[in-house]
Amino acid sequence: MNIPIRHKITDEILFEHDCKDNTQKITLELAIKKDVLLYNADLHDADLCDADLYGAGLRKADLCDANLYGADLCKADLCDANLMEKS
């Protein structure tokens, strides 16, 4: 299954990955391993439980309502990222 990570404003594809049993978590972890800058990425509602986000470039990303339980956010750039829960 192909899963794109899109820019939250322009809808441009920042990174995409296609494999059997793919998830947003797998796609995001691969993008990070490839040093893709995911500034302004639309990751709202993403299930990133236990994801390895070490050093991720997620400046201004939309992580609203994303499941980040147990995720490794060490050295991740989350400057101006939206981490709020929707009411």
Answer with the residue of higher pLDDT: 86 or 4. Answer: 4
Q: Work out the burial of residue 52: count CB atoms within 10 Å of its CB; fewer than 13 is exposed, 13-18 middle, 19 or more buried.
A: middle
- pLDDT at residue 85, as a whole number: 78
Answer whether residue 42 shows pLDDT above 90. Answer: yes
Q: What is the CA radius of gyration of the chain?
A: 12
Arithmetic mean of pLDDT, 14-43: 97
